[in-house]
Amino acid sequence: MPRDEAVASGGIGKAVKRREDVRFLTGKGTYTDDMNRPDQTYCVFLRSNVAHGQITRVDTAAASAMPGVVRIFTGEDIAAAGLGGVPCGWEITSSNGEKMKEPAHPILAQGKVRHVGDPIAAVVAESREAAKDAAEAIGLEIEEMGAVVNMTTAIQGHGAPVHDEAEDNLCYDWDLGDKDATDAAFANATHVTTLEFVNNRMIPNAMEPRAAIGEYDAARDQHTLYTTSQNPHVIRLLMGAFVLNIPEHKLRVMAPDVGGGFGSKIFHYAEEAFVTWASKEIGRPIKWTAERSESFVTDAHGRDHVTKAELAMDSEGKFLALRADTLANMGAYLSTFAPCVPTWLHGTLLAGQYAHPAVHCRVRAVFTNTVPVDAYRGAGRPEATYLLERLINKAAQEIGLDQVEIRRRNFIRPDQFPYDTPVALQYDTGNYLATLARALEMADYAGFNARKAESAARGKLRGIGLSCYIEACGIAPSSLVGALGARAGLYEAASVRVNPTGSVSVFTGSHSHGQGHETTFAQVVADRLGIPYESIEIVHGDTDRVPFGMGTYGSRSLAVGGTAIVNAVDKVIAKGKKIAAHLMEASEADVVFEDGQYKVAGTDKAKAFGEVSLAAYVPHQYPIEDIEPGLEETAFYDPKNFTFPAGSYLCEVEVDPDTGKIEVLGFWAADDFGNVVNPMIVEGQVHGGLVQGLGQAFIENCVYDENGQLPSGSYMDYAMPRAGDFPSFEVDTCVTACTHNPLGVKGCGEAGAIGAPPALVNAVVDALSAYGVDHIDMPLSPQKVWATIQAAKPAMAAE
């Protein structure tokens, strides 16, 4: 097939329909809980219903004798087996040079429980029901200790700390940026705007609850774990090396179809380590599937910052400096990525799209008796964007500048790239004026005042909110993140196997759990090789089939994983040229590869891609002295820099002043993701991100009470966005191609969740600005909005 047709069938830039959809639409997907292994048992965990306490008794005798119970394990069994705890993947160093506090995180509680949901015992039984019944029959006594919940009081060291090694509950006290320059700029400012706020805690809620099946083959001394993971190789590495002491060649980890992750399925969790280990102990496979109420108290939560932010400006509204001081909740234990989220994924983004001369950021990470907090869609970057974009709107309000104008005055201009920020990043490229212009045009910003007047005539308050986000994606250059505290590199790997008759199997370390890699990666390869999209297969999610991989998070799959594939493809082409040169009796230097054919430049000699691959596997007429047979190449790609997707979002709302109810009337997103491989999929990613971001701003809220109980622990009490909550969106992209990867791509998975919350809050504050309101914390419940209006009314009347 000529290249044009190949590309027409599925090359870069086409809205190719997803090949994975057919299995999902016919009920033929294979999620972990859909699998049963021969002779399988079921595991149910007995979990703490107390936030903080000393376990004084765990009596399993009666429960063990119940019908169907195979065995019950407690923390003592784990300790006796000498298993490691759940490891953390990052180490942050405090400003004073001390390493962060890193308390042990046992697989089953040892002596103490530290959050509601902490696992105490594991019941393995013939059925889920039998395991549940037995778990309820375990005799358990816990001597309660006061729960540490509030971060502000936690760091004052009242009461029993979460961990004895951190008396003041501080994990680290970190800072970034030039403090002296920042302080000096504040001293010279004409205007300083201050904003204190809470970035509310989120529960990720991927629709597929986590699940794991552990299996041990004694005859081959081989462990297998099926798990709901975004990065099976990382789980194999962390669990094999640090928890169970199983070498990689004896441990296979498979993440089959996975029903969404949003960060929560990056991390290594105790349950998957337990079933892997215990399946060998009992000699039978063990399956665990979380119930949703269990997900609420075991999946790592997201966000949860308390922040004071200040912006220094001159008389023209030009930014002079930014200062931020944040308390970041770590929960009871350090989850895999947790320490880097409020630091390197948050502090470094505080320059935003703006030419701030100076930025200083301090972050104190705090242990509390709550579920561990870790990366959740956007991870640190939503918190940074919210900080900046709320602060800027408050500043604009204070000095009487339009929210658009204040940003225009401070944007990094297109001719300033590459741009070094005062917080350790170099933005390679971007055009913030372009995305802003596109968003303003889509939203008809100019017509807003007329719409506002029309609403006012109906007694409603209309507002429009702007947010201009930037994120650092394509995570991440290994040596850089190593210097920042990562305990692993963040490259990606791919193998490209050209089969004898010219079809191609691609093995990628990226994992797809909704992103559509099986489609987009095939588009990339079809485009590069000029062969039909249909003859390319993408394989992922199995450590025995894929050489290695760091997985999917931080919008890295295409920028990093896609580049590894491109590099492996290029190695294939290079080898193919040597073979083709031999077949055509030409010099290798004269062979070019185009339109899916090897050609001798300047002649009409050509060999099709498939002819060359066949020659590689049937090497009769072949340069066998010089090159090996076969056509399969592997590449490891380490990114040179982060990528920097950016965009402008506008949100328009109407508030009913009598009820506080908010209606989102429209949402417009103009994003720069660099080049786009599949625009349909990119739009879908934006839509999904937007609703997660709007959900945070509008209705979602994870609430702990002072005893460390989780009242928002089910879908009855934790408000998930539903189809009726928001309108359809208008989204578009502008392109500045990433300068340091061959595809010119930046990543699109997190943008919506990053940019949406401040746009919505800015819109509501704009609607209420007539009342003098300048901030409301998320989520913007009608009750809170109504109360804000009521509180503002007397002040208005007095004026």
Choose between 30 and 190: whose C-beta lies nearer to another protein.
30
Contact between 219 and ligand FES by CB under 6 A: the answer reads no
* Cβ atoms 362, 324 nearer than 8 A: yes
Q: Which of 204, 229, 510 is nearest to 376 (CA)?
A: 204
Strand-pair category, 419-420 with 191-202: unpaired
Q: How far is the CB of 516 from ligand FES (least distance, A)?
A: 11
Residue 432 interacts with, from another protein, ligand FES, none (CB under 5-8 Å by kind): none
Residue 219 interacts with, from ligand FES, another protein, none (CB under 5-8 Å by kind): none
Task: Out of 207, 218, 483, 589, point to the residue binding another protein (CB under 8 A).
Answer: 207
CA 126, CA 255: separation in Å to the nearest integer? Answer: 24
Q: What is the x/- site pattern for another protein, positions 1-20, by CB under 8 A?
A: --------------x-xx-x
Choose between 29 and 157: whose C-beta lies nearer to another protein.
29
Residue 20 interacts with, from ligand FES, another protein, none (CB under 5-8 Å by kind): another protein
Cβ burial of 568 (10 Å; 0-12, 13-18, 19+) is: buried
How many residues sit close enough to another protein to count as binding (CB under 8 A)? 58
Choose between 122 and 669: whose C-beta lies nearer to another protein.
669
Question: CB pairs under 8 A, 24+ apart, for 767-773?
Answer: 767/461, 767/462, 767/463, 767/653, 767/654, 767/655, 768/461, 768/463, 768/655, 768/792, 769/397, 769/463, 770/461, 770/796, 771/795, 771/796, 772/796
Q: What is the x/- site pattern for ligand FES, positions 463-502, by CB under 6 A?
A: ----------------------------------------
Contact between 723 and another protein by CB under 8 A: the answer reads yes
Task: Out of 207, 446, 716, 797, point to the residue binding ligand FES (CB under 6 A).
Answer: 207
Contact between 208 and another protein by CB under 8 A: the answer reads yes
Q: What DSSP letter does each residue of 145-189 carry, written as one string?
A: ------HHHHTTT-SS-SSTT-TT-EEEEEEEE-HHHHHHHHHT-
CA 212, CA 286: separation in Å to the nearest integer? Answer: 8
Alpha carbon 298 to its chain's center: 17
Contact between 29 and ligand FES by CB under 6 A: the answer reads no
Q: How far is the CB of 510 from ligand FES (least distance, A)?
A: 18
How many residues sit close enough to ligand FES to count as binding (CB under 6 A)? 4
Contact between 260 and ligand FES by CB under 6 A: the answer reads yes
Residue 189 interacts with, from another protein, ligand FES, none (CB under 5-8 Å by kind): none
Q: What DSSP letter does each residue of 347-373 carry, written as one string?
A: GGGTTTTB--SEEEEEEEEEE-SS--B
Q: How far is the CB of 756 from ligand FES (least distance, A)?
A: 18
Collapsing DSSP states into helix, strand and coil, what is residue 425? coil
CA 518, CA 19: separation in Å to the nearest integer? Answer: 7
Token pair belonging to 677: 């491989």
- CB count within 10 Å of CB 55 equals 21
Task: Out of 174, 197, 242, 262, point to the residue binding another protein (CB under 8 A).
Answer: 262
Residues written for the chain = 799
Contact between 697 and another protein by CB under 8 A: the answer reads no
Contact between 259 and another protein by CB under 8 A: the answer reads yes
List Cα–Cα distances, 772 to 193, 391, 394, in angstroms.
15, 16, 11
Contact between 516 and another protein by CB under 8 A: the answer reads yes
Task: Out of 22, 104, 453, 601, point to the residue binding another protein (CB under 8 A).
Answer: 22
Choose between 187 and 720: whose C-beta lies nearer to another protein.
720
Q: Which of 209, 203, 279, 207 is nearest to 239 (CA)?
A: 279
Contact between 680 and another protein by CB under 8 A: the answer reads yes
Choose between 136 and 291: whose C-beta lies nearer to ligand FES.
291
- Contact region for another protein (CB under 8 A) — 91-99, 448-456, 713-721, 768-776? 713-721
Task: Out of 31, 186, 609, 673, point to the residue binding another protein (CB under 8 A).
Answer: 31
Contact between 514 and ligand FES by CB under 6 A: the answer reads yes
CA 701, CA 722: separation in Å to the nearest integer? Answer: 15
CA 242, CA 555: separation in Å to the nearest integer? Answer: 27
Q: How far is the CB of 513 from ligand FES (least distance, A)?
A: 8
Q: How far is the CB of 489 from another protein (least distance, A)?
A: 27
Q: What is the dihedral of CA 525, 527, 528, 529, to 10 degrees?
A: 80
Strand-pair category, 41-47 with 286-289: parallel
Token pair belonging to 109: 């509680």
Residue 446 interacts with, from another protein, ligand FES, none (CB under 5-8 Å by kind): none
Token pair belonging to 506: 């691609």
**Site residues for ligand FES per CB under 6 A:** 207, 259-260, 514
**Site residues for another protein per CB under 8 A:** 15, 17-18, 20-31, 33-34, 36, 129, 205-209, 257-260, 262, 291-293, 513-516, 680-681, 683-684, 687-692, 714-716, 720-724, 726, 728-729, 752
